[in-house]
Amino acid sequence: MKKLLTVIMTGSILMFGTAVFALTLDEAKANIDKQATEKKLDASDRSRATATLQDLVDKGVPVEHASRVVEASIDQGMKGKDLAAVAKSIEAAGPGARKEAATVAADAIQHKYNARETAQMTNTFGKTVAAGAPSDKTSKVMSNGINKGIGAGRITAATNAYAGEIKSGTGPDKAAENATRTMDRQRTMQQDRDMSRDSDHMGGGSGMDRGMGSDHGSGMGSGMGGSRR
């Protein structure tokens, strides 16, 4: 009886704790409005940020995930129209995958990928899941590349290859492992090129290889076009 009571009490505490710490939509809106004010966004961009949060939640994205996307965009200086484009790419992922799509988008924005790159990767995520790939593993594959600073085009290519392997019968875990290995190789190759370029520059070389391996454009977002490492 004592053990049963303990289990019930523990479950009640956990449920209560979840209720206490879960972010409500109103709290998320207040946080975003405060952040937007601190970042000196104009009234139009502040309004669009709040509206985007509401739209994402209405489309089934959990408040915490939707809030993270919007807050990251404000922090990185992304304008309202570009945030709206990112939100549209999240919504395109479909009802069952929008939470993970928001995770990919938020990771990308936080790592300074611009709006065009972020939407490109999120759209690829949606197409990959629609083709039958598990949303959680697809999200992990893409976020892995994002966290390593691999170019958006290369992440997209690796994700497409991952989707193709699954379609051909390769298990999701093995396909994800292969995609990650491919991106790791690309990362190593890019680092080697960067080291060679820096060495040539220090040694008075011509520097003709400067910028090789870049696979993304200037982008849509303001201040978001930093080069991938």
Q: What is the per-residue pLDDT for 203?
A: 60
Is-contact 213 193, C-beta < 8 A?
Answer: yes
Give, for all 229 residues of the chain, the pLDDT tens digit.
555 444 454 555 444 443 445 789 999 999 999 999 999 999 999 999 999 999 999 999 999 999 999 999 999 999 888 999 999 999 999 999 999 999 999 999 999 999 999 999 999 999 999 999 999 999 999 999 999 999 999 999 999 999 999 999 999 999 999 999 999 888 888 777 778 777 776 665 444 443 334 444 444 444 444 445 4
This prediction's pTM = 0.76
What is the full DSSP assignment across the chain?
-HHHHHHHHHHHHHHHHHHHHSPPHHHHHHHHHHHHHHTT--HHHHHHHHHHHHHHHHTT--HHHHHHHHHHHHHTT--HHHHHHHHHHHHTT-TTTHHHHHHHHHHHHHTT--HHHHHHHHHHHHHHHHTT--HHHHHHHHHHHHHTT--HHHHHHHHHHHHHHHHTT--HHHHHHHHHHHHHHHHHHHHHHHHHHHHHHHTT---TTTTTT----S-SSTT--PPP-
Is-contact 150 185, C-beta < 8 A?
Answer: no
The Cα–Cα gap between 79 and 142 comes to: 24
Q: What is the per-residue pLDDT for 78?
A: 92
Q: What is the per-residue pLDDT for 105?
A: 98
